[in-house]
Every structure is written in structure tokens, then in C-alpha cells.
Homo-oligomer: A and B are copies of this chain.
Amino acid sequence: MRREITGFSNPTVKYLRSLRDKKYRRREKRFLAEGLRLLTDARECGRLPEMLVMAAGRNRHSLLDTLERDVLAAGGEVVETTPDILTKITGKDNPQAVTGMFREFDTSLGSLDRDAAPIWLVAQALRDPGNLGTMLRTADAVGAGGVILIDECADPFSVEAVRASMGAIFTKAIAQAEWGEFQSWLRSGAGQLVAASLREAVPYRGAAYAAPCFLLVGNESRGLPEECEAACDLRVTMPMRGRADSLNASVAAAVLAYEALARLDP
């Protein structure tokens, strides 16, 4: 269905805008992804928005035409609105913007097939949505299965995480679980849990990674709780030649993931 919205107080505008807030996203199980490139990535992975929103008078683009056609064919809505209203929804002053509203995916551990990939990234209490999105992007690059979020993490469906993922939000598996639940799931099958650690750790380079390999990084300020480190099958450490004792969490995950990739799937 196609429709036009010209009023700022239109309930659809309010609804879409509310999805920038985690509380509403969680309740509605819907999220926004912005930009033609991201939406095209999603389409090519078979993920279509339930609603596509764009400014009237936007320049035509063949990828946008394809997207519109596919959204309509799938029973979704295409909404044309004014640049001002679109700015209100997205918070960005770009009348060329296109936004899609998607249904959130299943993020239960049960939805994962651990044997689908040699590497999985795992983050415990990761707070920064940019780091989370970057980890998804890295997961895509190393051919990892996806990202598993332990305990209270940033929301993978936030606009920032979706943007930083550069489309990987649509291609990689995402799961969310409490630590205990993750432990039970992990130990119910094959899987090596590896922590980036400073204690009793072997050099990350040439360590005995084994697939499926779950690479665990911790919170940006506190690192990993002792309990999590203790539960790992392997603790590895990266050289720290300077004053600081840690890397950015998404950087640590990437350096580890590329090392594991070289060992597991060269």
C-alpha cells in the first residue's frame, strides 16, 4: 500500500519517531534502518521493511524503485512524506534519506546453528552501540556466524548499532542471553570459549583455537568478570606495549577474530 503523510502529528510519524527509543523498540519489536545502501543490502539478503518512508520529490534511483516494488509486492507500505517530517523521524537533516521499519529478528540462542561458522563473536555487557555494530561488521568480514550478546548490552537494533554494522545486522545472526543461559547452551554442544584476558593467558598469536570458536570480549570499562574468564577454555592476551592495558572492545574482537581466522580457515 502507498500513502502520503503531510502532518507532523500523524500517528505513524509519532510511532516511527518513538522507535528511536529503546523502550518503544523493545515493546513494538520494530526498528529503523536508514539509507538506500543499507536497505538495499537488507533486500538482497531477503529482509524487507514492513514500511518504507521517503521524502516526496526525492531523486529517483533504480535501487529505490526496486525496493519500493519489492516492499509493495510483499504487502508492505510505502510512505511518502515531506523532508521536514522525515527529518523529525530520523533526526537527520537529509531530504535524500530513506528509512525502513523492520520487524526485529529472533535473537534467542536456540535460533543459532553453531556449526554454521568456525568463529562466533561474544560480548559481555558491551555498552557502546557503535562498538556493537562494528563487531557485527567484523563478524561479516571474517565469515563469523554472528554476535552473541551476554547480559545487559547495547541494543543491536538501535540506529547507531545498525548504522555501524554497515548492513551486517541483516546478514549475521544475533543472539541475546544471560550469562548462565549462554553457558548452558554453549556446553550442550561443541564449542571453545576464548577470552581476551590479561591473566594466566597465552599469547593470542598461534594459540590453539578450535572451531566452533567463541571469542569473548567484555565491557568497555570493566572488562570481563572473573566468573566469565574462569569459564573460558582458553585465555589469550595481546601485546600491550604502551601505557594502557586494554584495547577498544571492538578492536580487540577484530584482532582476535583475524588471528583465529588465520588458524581455523586460512
Copies per assembly: 2
Give the interface centre of A41, A166, A171, A265 by most chain B CB atoms within 10 Å.
Answer: A166
**Interface contact A239-B138, CB-CB below 8 Å:** no
Which residues of A from 226 to 254 have beta carbons under 8 Å from B? 238-244, 246-248, 250-251, 254
| CB closest residue in chain B, given A242 | B140
**Interface contact B258-A238, CB-CB below 8 Å:** yes
Q: A247-B254, A248-B134 are in contact. Are A242 and B141 (CB under 8 A)?
A: yes
**Interface contact A140-B171, CB-CB below 8 Å:** no
Task: Give which listed residue, B137, B166, B243, B262, contacts A171 with CB less than 8 A.
Answer: B243
**Interface contact A243-B137, CB-CB below 8 Å:** no
**Interface contact B142-A243, CB-CB below 8 Å:** no
Q: Does A103 contact B (CB under 8 A)?
A: no
The CA of A251 and the CA of B249, in the complex, are separated in Å by 10
**Interface contact B240-A141, CB-CB below 8 Å:** yes
The CA of A64 and the CA of B21, in the complex, are separated in Å by 37
**Interface contact B241-A141, CB-CB below 8 Å:** yes
Q: Does A130 contact B (CB under 8 A)?
A: yes
**Interface contact A243-B143, CB-CB below 8 Å:** no
**Interface contact A141-B239, CB-CB below 8 Å:** yes
**Interface contact A137-B248, CB-CB below 8 Å:** yes
**Interface contact A241-B142, CB-CB below 8 Å:** yes
Tell me which residues across on chain B come within 8 A of A250, comparing CB atoms: 248, 251
Question: Known pairs A142-B239, A241-B265, A255-B258. 13 more at Cβ < 8 A?
Answer: A45-B243, A138-B247, A141-B240, A143-B239, A143-B242, A166-B246, A168-B243, A168-B244, A171-B243, A247-B254, A248-B254, A254-B254, A255-B255
| Residues on A facing B (Cβ under 8 Å) | 41, 44-45, 130, 134, 137-143, 164, 166-168, 171-172, 205, 238-244, 246-248, 250-251, 254-255, 258, 261-262, 265
Give 26 CB contacts A-B under 8 Å.
A41-B243, A134-B251, A137-B244, A137-B247, A137-B251, A140-B242, A140-B243, A141-B238, A141-B239, A141-B241, A141-B242, A141-B244, A143-B239, A143-B242, A164-B248, A166-B246, A167-B243, A168-B244, A171-B242, A205-B262, A239-B258, A239-B261, A251-B251, A251-B254, A254-B254, A255-B255
